[in-house]
Structure 1
Amino acid sequence: MKRIFTFIFLLAIAITAQAQMGGGGSTVVGRISGNVIDSLTKKPLDYATVTLYRSKGKVPLNGVLTDEKGNFKLNNVAPGNYKVTVTFIGYPTKTFDPIKTTPEKPDNNMGTVIVSPGANALKEVQVTGTQSVIENKIDKMVYNAEKDATVSGGNAGDVLRKVPMVAVDQDGNVSLRGSQNVKILINGRPSGAVASSVGDAMKMMPADQIKSVEVITSPSAKYDAEGTAGIINIITKKKDVSGVSGSISGGLGTRQNNGNANLNVNKNRLSVSGNFGGNLTWPQTSNINNYSTSLATGDVVNQQIGTTRTKRYAYVGSGNVAYDFNDKNSVSTGIRFNNTQFSTEGFTDNSGFRNYVQNNNTTTDFGGFDWNADYTRKFKKEGEELTFAGQWSYGKTNTDIDAFYNLPIFKNQQGGNNALNNEYTGQLDYALPINKVIKLEAGGKLISRKINSDYEIFGQGVDGNYVFDKEASNTYDYSQDVYSGYTVLSFQFKNSVGLQAGARVENTQIDGTSSNFVTALPPFSNSYTNFIPSFAISKTFKKSQTVKLSYSKRIQRPSLQFLNPFRNTSNLQYQTQGNPYLSPEISQSVELNYSTFIKSSVINASIYYRHTDDIIESFLTQPEYSYVDANGQTQTIQTNLTSYQNTGNNNSFGGSFFGQVIPVKNLTLRTSINLFSYKPTASSQFQDATTQENKTYLQYNIFGQGSYNLPKNLVIETFAIFNAPRRTLQGRYPSFNMWVISMSKQFMQKRAKIGVNVIDPFNEVKHFDSQVNNGTSLVNTNFALPFRSVGVNFSWSFGKMNFNANPQQKKKRGVNNDDLKSGGDNNGGTGNQ
């Protein structure tokens, strides 16, 4: 590790020294400012365009809009002679040349700039523009959530359900093109909350915090190799504007309530932003029915029927500070914190080897923070850039458990799980445009994860006192270090042809120790190195038509809940256990994509093939299990044990389509369809415990939406989602369908909005059915929970702002840990829950 850090440090010094030696010139920068007023009314002109050129030049260097007081500031201006023009609709352009700045006096205040209206001044001019809800870019699909009225009042899961190629199930688990092996980032960075539990992280984030969602199905070698299906990057709201701005939003509903507020302050070279939001779910009662049937006799072997009442609340906050010392050097730092608490109380009526009732009360509180900092150094050559970035993610989970039985032979239990998760990341990235055709990108990275889980259970003895249960308790320590480096070459040829080729190498080191006082669980270690190539070629034709062919290789490392070898027996009939000897999934995919824009219509279509080796799936067996009851007697039962295995490989052919059309004025229709095959081939040791018989299953995700603009800023929208059941080697898991109707109205010059959402008006309760067949038994699960809801939402934006006229200058900061296979709604940092 010391060698890697030494290498990165020396590389950074060498690059920086070379750039400073070759750069030459002064690094002092200043600003040009002034105040624009009307010559007749003497009132300030807001939203006038101020443009900066070289003296006598014709190519604009920078530009801004004046604020409500007519003020403007052009920042990061190097010493020299410039030309400044002021334009406004109905006014002739006014030019000032030369405007001088020097190293001794880098700032030039032009004072009051007086402009006169032209002879043919327009009486009234209204300029409007609409950003498409879906944008198809060369390397990703972008869903602009803030432009979609139907996402207000929900959470991140509700937003992702509307993103092309993405599906979200009833627990908030996210899949891309049918695979849950997807890496979710927030503002380009990993999140400790997402690593612990994808479902809970999506539920805790208010929809009103989200600006857009980026979907990358064929990442280049620059990205971490983790996530066989691709990357989903959630962008939160943060305006790149000068001045003070912000918004407040919220919603009240029959199922959940939420609120969100954000504030942005951009002053000269300093940018500060903050955000806070949360949600509260009304208590919900769900019902579950588990039963196992023998395939040989058709008899029900055991059954659990239960009811659970759940209460949940969560909040998320963030703060960021960025400062540009000059046009070459900038720093930024930010922190994002989160907390969720949910409590459940209920019972299960068990029948099978013994009839008994189990009452459970569980409270889980988990939270943490992600702190990041980075430094960016730009060089004299346009596009040459060096970035250092670091991040510390911290997570803590506390779970309290109470279990009581109506039969005295079972031990009543109390206890819980305390877990800590620390992740440290260091990253260096360097970009160099070699010439107009070739661009080089290279970098290195280290991710170090340290996880501790302390699971303690106390059983009630015959004297009524609770005694530490050695067999049911466990302490687990886990560490994972990932070392990686990459190189990417991009070529932009004539005739709008682009080519990108890259390679990445990742080395993974894993160590784990599980301490149980009764069961001897040996420590384990593992290491592996992966070579990850990537390739893409694209061609853009006239009329905005683009064709792209890409190849990518990805891996999926198992996270803690897949690896922890401790056997969780809190539910005697349905137990779970991890597998520390899992290998990572390896997938290779080829994709052909076509996109075009025809006036207001958007079409994006792709076909793809993906081959995956060493699939990681849950696997059901039914071994016998022996335990000591409250009377000290040994009991042996047949139980349902779910573990995780590398079950085999899969070949999948698929196609996706997205289209948007405006058939008549004010009506917009959008649809997204993803079809793909699932055809697993089991490894020899698992063939007897599977029932797929080499079948091919057609999977689908379908989304359709329509919106209509009525007079007086009224909008009516509706959308529907249809997903096929998720398949595994042993069975199927629930499908998810939903229908939403909404109406909203904008007022206060479109700064405020109020709306009403209705979710599934004809389904008060939704049922989710799954079925697992291990060759000897059929295990069915029916889960039902309240779903229909009606809600009112509102939003208000404030602040009159001066938008940055040169967004290309904005820097993409931070680390990107596209990492780890996370599963279900398990708390990945806890291990023993």
Structure 2
Amino acid sequence: MPQSLLILLLLAGVSLPGQDILLTGSLVQDGNGEPLGFATAVAYSAADSSMQGNATTEVDGSFTLSLGPGSYYLVFQFLGFDNKVIRGIEIAPTDGAIDVGTVRMTQSGLALETVEVTTERSQMVMKLDKRVFNVGKDLTGAGNTAADILNNVPSVNVDPEGNVSLRGSNGVRILVDGKPSAMLSSGDLDALRRMQGDIIESVEVITNPSARYEAEGEAGIINIILKKNRQRGINGSFGATVGYPDNLGASYSLNYRRDQFNLFSNFGISYRRSPGGGTDRQQFLNDDGSLLARYDSETDQNRGGIGGNFQLGTDWFINDHNQLTGSLLYRQSKDDNIATVTYRDFGESGQLISTTVRDTEEDSDNQNLESSLSYKRTFDGNEDRVWTIDAQYILDDDIELSDISQTTTDRSGPLLQKASNTEYETNLLLQTDYVHPFSDSLKIEGGLRSTFRTIRNAFRVEEADENGTFVVFPQFDDELEYNENIAAAYFIGNGEFGPLGVQVGLRGELSDVTAALLKSEVTNEQKYFNLFPSASVSYRFSELSQFQVSYSRRLSRPFFRLLLPFSNFNNPRNNTVGNPTLRPEYTDSYEAGMLRYLPRGSVLASLYYRYTTGVIERLTLPAADGTTIRFPVNLGDRNAYGVELNVSYDLTEWWKVTSDFNLYTATVEGNYQEIDYAVDITSWNGRAATTLDLSDRLQTQVTFEYDAPQNTPQGRNLASYALDVGASLDVLRGKGTITLSGRDLFNTRISRTVIDQPTYRSESDFQWRQARQVVLSFVYRLNQEKRRTENPDGE
């Protein structure tokens, strides 16, 4: 693409830098002079500390970096050794190759809080406090949505309806670049499908967050990192996607770096449509167990439309110690969703009484605008002393309009209805953090945070009378106003004492939450202050082994749609409604983990226990008129225990395997309306993936995952499994990659549930969207040539 067009896309008008120059040297152990292979060498700009290049040392310790003219400092990192910094590297335009000579590293005497060894081939980096999943290395996720990508991250599951769980628990907080996103925090199950996967760089999974993070999310935090690059000049990537079912898309991720400014932009647009649906058999029983009524339903639907996102931002490196970053992210989607639900009612002896067909056409329009501004200051004499200020403002607008036609064999004419659901949200975040190191092994940090969130949601259902005039249903006509204001402060202390590392923290949050039904004049106000302590102790047995125990207290506020007392009315016999009186869940979380690096891989084993009060559970409640509602309640308490194992290993230089296994058991105690819903739960899930480098250009990947059946307070969720495959081929001298992937090849990722209660029984299977899909994608990298460096630790 011509340079002028790239500059226009990034709104910049400067020229490209000159020819890069090779910087070489050798890395060895101090004392015995043994070479250090597979260490990391990173070059940073002396002006703003931005990364300008990186390389992995060869077996003999040699390394080569390609850099443009300028001033740099080098940082060398290797497991079990202190970081080595070489300053004062000056490169002139007229210089030839530069040899920095022999660099010596000394063994570390400090505890390893987090060990990260990365190369271009990395897929997942495992740390004790979090796991970082590098999206670009997952072949089966190419050209897919954020929901598809999250469902392939170890420990994370996205069910066919779009609900996200972590280690089997649904209380997950989802962030984007460390901040809340209106789309992903409203409880909209389609939000993750609206986000294009092409703009995602990595996903962080934090299972036991410290006091530094907001207390929301009892199961942990999932942080989605968007693409951003700070290499010099113009660089980026362009992508195109075609797939089945209907899947067409295009995207770019561009970056321009010059002097004090770094401009970045992401764009993605796609058209997707996918079938879905399922079946349901429901029986209503008398108190003596005899059949009162029975009907079967079959849903056939097709959902999707066009959507896109655009991000534009800049980093301004004001001087050596001050940096300002601003960005703007806009998303929009327009969907045309159609669904047909067929009901067949049967008598006591099994005879067919009537058939009802309900057709729904829904137009959905969503717009989301997110702006952020961040300031970062470092100080003379200590680059680790940092003060940051962040501000974010979100606007979100969502409209759903439905036309419904229902015909029944015992009715002469069709029943016509209309439903509207409009939602408007504003969200303001203000935050400041400060980190003060007293020495290399002792530091403190603290911060303040305030969020102000307002949501207005209006819902109305109308039905045509015998004259064709639409009349409002009073019981389905109201407006919810939700206000959530939260003020928080935290403090953390970190210390390292030889092989021992200790971190303690305390967070306080003042919550002011109001949910008001404006037409019904019903208001639920909740004001509460909570303290959330956290603690972590790590011990390094050797350079390759580390043990950690941690504790945190968390809460999960009911997300907005759990409070909304209305549903979309597409299936009035099985309505999903909310409960404006819900209160938060509180969880005490304990975890112990052992991380071991092997010669060609790594193993992370974790034990965890969570005690939760005020557990929110969705119950299916039968009504006297032969319908049901799914209604969320604060059911009771839950004790959950689990063990998780993550393994990554290179069997050969061309064959890599990764696996994730989670076994958990839980006891839930609670009742609602004098009915006991206590249940014992034992289940497991696992995922295994194998990657083969068939050549320097061709790579394949196969992934299999399985979710075992488990009990619920009302019945049982049945097992599901899926097989994903993918292959990638590098073309155009490594600047382009073609990827062919197939997700859920046998279309077995289906939600199957059984409800077995004294007066009600149900067996159902459902897919919100068909999980099976085949995607062909192409990516072209501009000034980002793909590297294939090897790593003995399998990272």
What TM-score bracket applies, with the shorter chain setting the length?
Answer: 0.7 to 0.9
- The alpha-carbon deviation at position 589 of structure 1 amounts to 1.3
Partner of 1:292: 283
Question: Retained in 2: the 8 A contact 1:676–1:700?
Answer: yes
Of 631, 653, 656, the residue aligned with 1:668 is 656
- The alpha-carbon deviation at position 344 of structure 1 amounts to 2.2
- The alpha-carbon deviation at position 97 of structure 1 amounts to 12
Partner of 2:389: 388
**Structure 2 residue identity aligned to 1:203:** R
Distance 1:326 1:97, change over 3 A: closer
Of 715, 718, 727, the residue aligned with 2:699 is 715
Alignment of 1:701 with 2:685, yes or no, is: yes
> How far apart in 2 are the matches of 1:171 and 1:158?
12
Partner of 1:485: 489
> How far apart in 1 are the matches of 2:599 and 2:67?
36
**SS of aligned partner of 1:235:** strand
Q: Deviations over 1:650-705 (max 9, x none)?
A: 1111011011122233111111111111221114x456253x5x43x222221111
> How far apart in 1 are the matches of 2:163 and 2:448?
31
Of 94, 97, 109, the residue aligned with 1:112 is 94
- The alpha-carbon deviation at position 113 of structure 1 amounts to 3.1
**Structure 1 residue identity aligned to 2:584:** P
- The alpha-carbon deviation at position 426 of structure 1 amounts to 0.9
- The alpha-carbon deviation at position 537 of structure 1 amounts to 0.5
Partner of 2:23: 48
Partner of 1:474: 478
Partner of 1:205: 195
Partner of 1:459: 463
Of 212, 215, 219, the residue aligned with 1:225 is 215
Question: Retained in 2: the 8 A contact 1:174–1:198?
Answer: no
Question: Retained in 1: the 8 A contact 2:341–2:571?
Answer: no
- The alpha-carbon deviation at position 260 of structure 1 amounts to 1.9
Alignment of 1:420 with 2:413, yes or no, is: no
- The alpha-carbon deviation at position 245 of structure 1 amounts to 0.2
- The alpha-carbon deviation at position 551 of structure 1 amounts to 0.6
- The alpha-carbon deviation at position 298 of structure 1 amounts to 4.4
Q: Which piece of structure 1 moves more, 219-228 or 714-723? A: 714-723
Alignment of 1:473-552 (within 5 A): 473-494=477-498, 496-516=499-519, 520-552=520-552
Of 339, 346, 358, the residue aligned with 2:332 is 339
**Structure 2 residue identity aligned to 1:666:** W
Partner of 1:258: 249
> How far apart in 1 are the matches of 2:523 and 2:413?
34
Unaligned runs of 5+ in 1: 1-34, 37-43, 52-58, 78-83, 86-95, 100-107, 119-127, 625-636, 804-833
> How far apart in 2 are the matches of 1:301 and 1:111?
82
**Structure 2 residue identity aligned to 1:780:** E
Of 434, 441, 444, the residue aligned with 2:445 is 441
> How far apart in 1 are the matches of 2:88 and 2:360?
78
- The alpha-carbon deviation at position 509 of structure 1 amounts to 0.8
Partner of 2:319: 326
Alignment of 1:310 with 2:285, yes or no, is: no
Aligned length: 701
> How far apart in 1 are the matches of 2:258 and 2:754?
58
Distance 1:449 1:389, change over 3 A: same
**Structure 1 residue identity aligned to 2:393:** W
**SS of aligned partner of 1:615:** strand
- The alpha-carbon deviation at position 169 of structure 1 amounts to 1.3
> How far apart in 2 are the matches of 1:568 and 1:711?
51
Partner of 1:644: 632
Partner of 1:631: none
Question: Retained in 2: the 8 A contact 1:65–1:802?
Answer: no
Distance 1:61 1:260, change over 3 A: closer
Distance 1:515 1:199, change over 3 A: closer
Question: Retained in 2: the 8 A contact 1:50–1:65?
Answer: no
Alignment of 1:617 with 2:599, yes or no, is: no
Question: Retained in 2: the 8 A contact 1:65–1:72?
Answer: no
**Structure 2 residue identity aligned to 1:779:** S
Partner of 1:14: none
**SS of aligned partner of 1:750:** coil
> How far apart in 2 are the matches of 1:549 and 1:146?
31
Q: Deviations over 1:536-572 (max 9, x none)?
A: 0001232421100001111000122222345876644
% identical equivalent positions: 24
- The alpha-carbon deviation at position 282 of structure 1 amounts to 3.4
Q: Deviations over 1:171-201 (max 9, x none)?
A: 3322111111111111212111112345423
Question: Retained in 2: the 8 A contact 1:461–1:467?
Answer: yes
Q: Deviations over 1:734-778 (max 9, x none)?
A: 6442102222211223221112223344x2576532123444211
> How far apart in 2 are the matches of 1:218 and 1:765?
32
- The alpha-carbon deviation at position 392 of structure 1 amounts to 0.8
- The alpha-carbon deviation at position 438 of structure 1 amounts to 2.2
RMSD, aligned CA: 3.4
**SS of aligned partner of 2:161:** coil
Answer 1 or 2: higher relative contact order, Cα 8 Å, separation at least 6.
1
Distance 1:731 1:97, change over 3 A: closer
Distance 1:60 1:300, change over 3 A: closer
**Structure 2 residue identity aligned to 1:397:** D
- The alpha-carbon deviation at position 275 of structure 1 amounts to 0.5
> How far apart in 2 are the matches of 1:802 and 1:559?
41
Partner of 1:187: 177
- The alpha-carbon deviation at position 283 of structure 1 amounts to 4.5
Partner of 1:39: none
Of 160, 167, 176, the residue aligned with 1:177 is 167
Distance 1:801 1:771, change over 3 A: closer
**Structure 1 residue identity aligned to 2:178:** G
> How far apart in 2 are the matches of 1:800 and 1:788?
32
Question: Retained in 2: the 8 A contact 1:173–1:198?
Answer: no
- The alpha-carbon deviation at position 65 of structure 1 amounts to 5.9
Unaligned runs of 5+ in 2: 1-16, 27-41, 47-51, 55-63, 76-85, 101-117, 347-352, 788-795
**SS of aligned partner of 2:326:** strand
More strand by share: 2
Partner of 1:781: 764
Distance 1:449 1:621, change over 3 A: same
Alignment of 1:654 with 2:657, yes or no, is: no
Alignment of 1:742 with 2:721, yes or no, is: no
**Structure 1 residue identity aligned to 2:335:** F
Partner of 1:158: 148
> How far apart in 2 are the matches of 1:283 and 1:428?
43
**SS of aligned partner of 2:476:** coil
Distance 1:386 1:116, change over 3 A: closer
Alignment of 1:276 with 2:259, yes or no, is: no
Partner of 1:30: none
Alignment TM-score, normalising by the size of structure 2:
0.81
Partner of 2:70: 73
> How far apart in 1 are the matches of 2:389 and 2:169?
32
**SS of aligned partner of 2:561:** helix
Alignment of 1:19-98 (within 5 A): 46-48=21-23, 71-74=68-71
**Structure 2 residue identity aligned to 1:497:** L
Alignment of 1:792 with 2:779, yes or no, is: no
- The alpha-carbon deviation at position 270 of structure 1 amounts to 0.6
Of 715, 720, 724, the residue aligned with 2:708 is 724
**SS of aligned partner of 1:384:** strand
> How far apart in 2 are the matches of 1:254 and 1:175?
27
Partner of 2:61: none
Alignment of 1:754-773 (within 5 A): 754-761=738-745, 763=746, 767-773=750-756
Q: Deviations over 1:271-290 (max 9, x none)?
A: 11000113322352534335
Q: Deviations over 1:440-463 (max 9, x none)?
A: 111111111111112233321221
**SS of aligned partner of 1:434:** strand
**Structure 2 residue identity aligned to 1:136:** M
